[in-house]
């Protein structure tokens, strides 16, 4: 199972439970290697009937996934296309595929999950966050774009209109307790309790009859999931906005301050975007 992955550590945990740890130094940016590995992983999860639950987390305590690698957009988009064809060449459609997998998916969040990293967590069936250190944010509007990988669709459904406006238009960082109160994550738990809580829930779900679990997931998806066309439209808008002069200028200013390097800017990106 783990063979062939460069940015993921993939190992069986409890019976029926697969542990997937994102390990893409220096800071888990979404680039072509990570997307290639996720495409491969999702293909396995589509067909392996022994896997009932997948738990996704990060090896980096400071970063779950901070955002995409803005220097490699064309490359990671080409890798994403391999999951669904050129017509669905976007992270949004790849994350949508994650939501529709015939396994239960749980994101375990420590550190920063911003932009498409937040959207990856939102595409999972459930999210649990470490109270002391998890940070979530949809930073795109602050950079001159708009969320393009499902963030608008999921946050509008989970948070409601007003709070989704605050999260997306404000482009600020949300701590785990606020994210829990708003509905961005299922629960914020003490860091020391997070692993045991998620492991118990994953074991519990994996022990139930598969047909009941997957049928219930499918019905819940039918009630709550955005349509594919809405995800595609968001991806188109993101690509248009991120190429515009305003976004290019703001992104260049962030790169000049240390974007995509470990340091103060990435740690406090919500505040730094607000100060541009």
Which tens digit of pLDDT belongs to each residue from 105-141? 999 999 999 999 999 999 999 999 999 999 999 999 9
Alpha helices per DSSP H over the chain: 32-47, 73-81, 91-99, 116-123, 151-159, 161-170, 176-182, 191-207, 210-224, 228-242, 245-256, 264-267, 269-274
- Annotated active-site residue in 33, 57, 119, 266: 119
pLDDT of 242 > 80? The answer is yes
Give, as one character, the DSSP assignment of residue 89: -
Average pLDDT of the chain? 94
Tell me the domains of the chain and their CATH numbers: 8-192+210-274 (3.90.226.10)
Q: Which long-range contacts link 250-253 to residues 24+ away (Cβ below 8 Å)?
A: 250/142, 250/143, 250/144, 250/276, 251/70, 251/143, 251/144
What share of the chain has pLDDT > 70, as a percent? 97
- Whether residue 3 is predicted with pLDDT greater than 90 in this model: the reply is no
Q: What is the pLDDT of residue 219?
A: 97
Taking only the tens place, the pLDDT of each residue in 69-87 is: 999 988 998 898 888 765 6
Select which of 140, 166, 222, 266 is catalytic.
140
18 in Cβ contact with 57 (< 8 Å): no
Active site (annotated) includes residue 119: yes
Is 90 exceeded by the pLDDT of residue 89? no
Active site residue 140: yes
CB atoms within 10 A of CB 219: 10
Q: Which pTM was predicted?
A: 0.95
For residue 221, how many other CB atoms are within 10 A of its CB? Answer: 12
Residue 24 has pLDDT above 80, yes or no: yes
pLDDT computed for residue 93 by the predictor: 93
């Amino acid at each position: 199972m783990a063979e062939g992955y460069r940015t993921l550590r993939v190992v069986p945990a409890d019976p029926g439970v697969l542990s997937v740890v994102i390990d893409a130094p220096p800071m888990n940016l979404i680039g072509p290697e990570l997307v290639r590995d996720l495409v491969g992983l999702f293909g396995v999860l589509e067909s392996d009937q022994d896997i009932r639950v997948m738990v996704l987390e990060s090896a980096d305590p400071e970063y779950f996934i901070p955002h995409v690698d803005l220097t490699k957009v064309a490359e990671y988009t080409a890798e994403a296309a391999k999951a669904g064809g050129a017509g669905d060449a976007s992270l949004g459609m790849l994350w949508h595929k994650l939501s529709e997998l015939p396994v239960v998916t749980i994101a375990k969040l420590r550190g920063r999950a911003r932009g498409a990293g937040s959207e990856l967590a939102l595409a999972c069936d459930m999210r649990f966050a470490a109270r002391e250190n998890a940070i979530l944010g949809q930073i795109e509007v602050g950079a001159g774009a708009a969320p393009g990988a499902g963030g608008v669709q999921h946050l509008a459904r989970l948070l409601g209109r007003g709070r989704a406006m605050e999260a997306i238009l404000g482009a600020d960082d949300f701590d785990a307790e606020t994210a829990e109160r708003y509905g961005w994550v299922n629960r914020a738990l003490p860091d020391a309790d997070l692993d045991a809580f998620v492991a118990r829930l994953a074991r519990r779900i994996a022990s139930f009859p598969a047909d009941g679990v997957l049928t219930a997931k499918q019905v819940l998806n039918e009630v709550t999931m955005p349509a594919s066309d809405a995800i595609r439209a968001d991806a188109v808008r993101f690509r248009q906005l991120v190429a515009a002069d305003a976004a290019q200028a703001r992104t260049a200013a962030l790169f000049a301050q240390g974007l995509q390097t470990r340091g103060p800017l990435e740690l406090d990106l919500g505040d730094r975007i607000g100060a541009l």
